Amino acid sequence: MKILHLDSGREMRGGQWQVLRLLDGLAAAGVESTLLARRRSPLFEAASRKRWNVEPLSAAHILACARRHDLIHAHDARSHTLALIAPGTPLVVSRRVAFPIRSFWKYQRPRRFLAVSEYVKSMLREAGIPEEKIDVVYDGVPLLEPRGGTAVLAVDNSSDPQKGAALAARAAEMAHVPLRFAADLERDLADAALFVYITHSEGLGSAVLLAMSAGVPVVASGVGGLREIIHSGENGLLVENSVPAIAGAIRRLLDDPDFAARLGLAGRRTIETNFTADCMVRRTMEVYCRVLS
């Protein structure tokens, strides 16, 4: 099996980390992959350091590589559009975002869609995509070593209007705790007592998965695919997007360390059961096999 992966991301966000983990897992399973990504993007550089077969993303490279591969996997909306120039190769498209679909014409071409959550799957169905063409493949994360720390951690997503970094910062101020924005989430989780993830729209929430993997209790917005990860009060806390609600959840966990520890342990078990990188790779390969059978 030979898979051509397309990703147009300029930054190393959740989707790009999933591509990199998928390439690792496919290689371990004996699947040959080629990645086309933006030259000098973080994903391009990371894949190059791992010595994966990676080339610049362009129409010419797509046409040249498509003939040598069994299937194209487009990992974002722009690469989905670019993949349409190679109609002779079966196309699988990952859909990670919780935005309405506005260009339905391009959604007729793919053989399968990989929705990152049941919530995203429902949005695809509402846009007219037949249910039999949609598979839910949750993000997968590595299992991190739980350590414990004192920091109240968040991600700096202030450049995205759908995210809530400013709201999280105001809530932390109301809760009278300093909020630290992670520079490298996987590394910084080792020092975290609590992870705060506030957003107005979310396909799933891979940063939340990573925090739960490390056994760090999570306060997150009760929106989108986050409701499929977190059962509030059992393996994390879901809150409405208001400063008092977020601040109250932060204080509840910091003031009750036994409760916080129970949520962190349950969150870790959630990842072990459904959200490992191995699960993500296996489910993706199952889709590839169905498309090519």
Calpha distance 291→125 (Å, rounded): 19
Q: Which residues of the chain does CATH 3.40.50.2000 include?
A: 2-140+276-292, 151-274
How far is the C-alpha of 49 from the C-alpha of 71, rounded, in Å?
Answer: 24
pLDDT digits (tens, 9 = 90+) for 142-199: 999 888 899 999 998 766 666 788 999 999 999 999 999 998 899 999 999 999 999 9
Instruction: Write the pLDDT tens digit of every residue in 92-127.
Output: 999 999 888 877 778 888 999 999 999 999 999 998
In sequence order, what DSSP letters do the residues of the chain get, joined into one string? -EEEEEE--SS--HHHHHHHHHHHHHHHTT-EEEEEE-TTSHHHHHHHHTT--EEE--HHHHHHHHTT-SEEEE-SHHHHHHHTT-TTS-EEEEE---PPP--GGGGGS-SEEEESSHHHHHHHHHTT--GGGEEE----B--------SEEEEE--TTSTTB-HHHHHHHHHHTT--EEEESSHHHHGGGEEEEEE-BS--SS-HHHHHHHHTT--EEEES-TTHHHH--BTTTBEEE-SSHHHHHHHHHHHHH-HHHHHHHHHHHHHHHHHH-BHHHHHHHHHHHHHHHH-
Place of tokens 């400013």: 166
| CATH architecture type of domain 151-274 | 3-Layer(aba) Sandwich (3.40)
Mean per-residue pLDDT over the chain, rounded = 94
pLDDT at res. 102: 77
For 49-62, the pLDDT digits (tens) are 999 999 999 999 99
Provide the pairing of β-strand 71-74 with 2-7: parallel
* pLDDT tens digits, 238-257: 999 999 999 999 999 999 99
What pLDDT is recorded for position 99?
Answer: 84
Long-range contacts of 47-53 (CB under 8 A, 24+ apart): 47/20, 47/23, 50/20, 50/23, 50/24, 52/23, 52/27
Q: What is the pLDDT of residue 107?
A: 84
Range with lowest mean pLDDT among 99-103, 128-132, 203-207: 99-103
β-partners of residue 230 are none
Query: How high is the pLDDT of residue 82?
Result: 95
Write the CB contacts of 160 (distance below 8 Å, at least 6 apart in sequence).
Answer: none
- CATH fold, domain 2-140+276-292, is Rossmann fold (3.40.50)
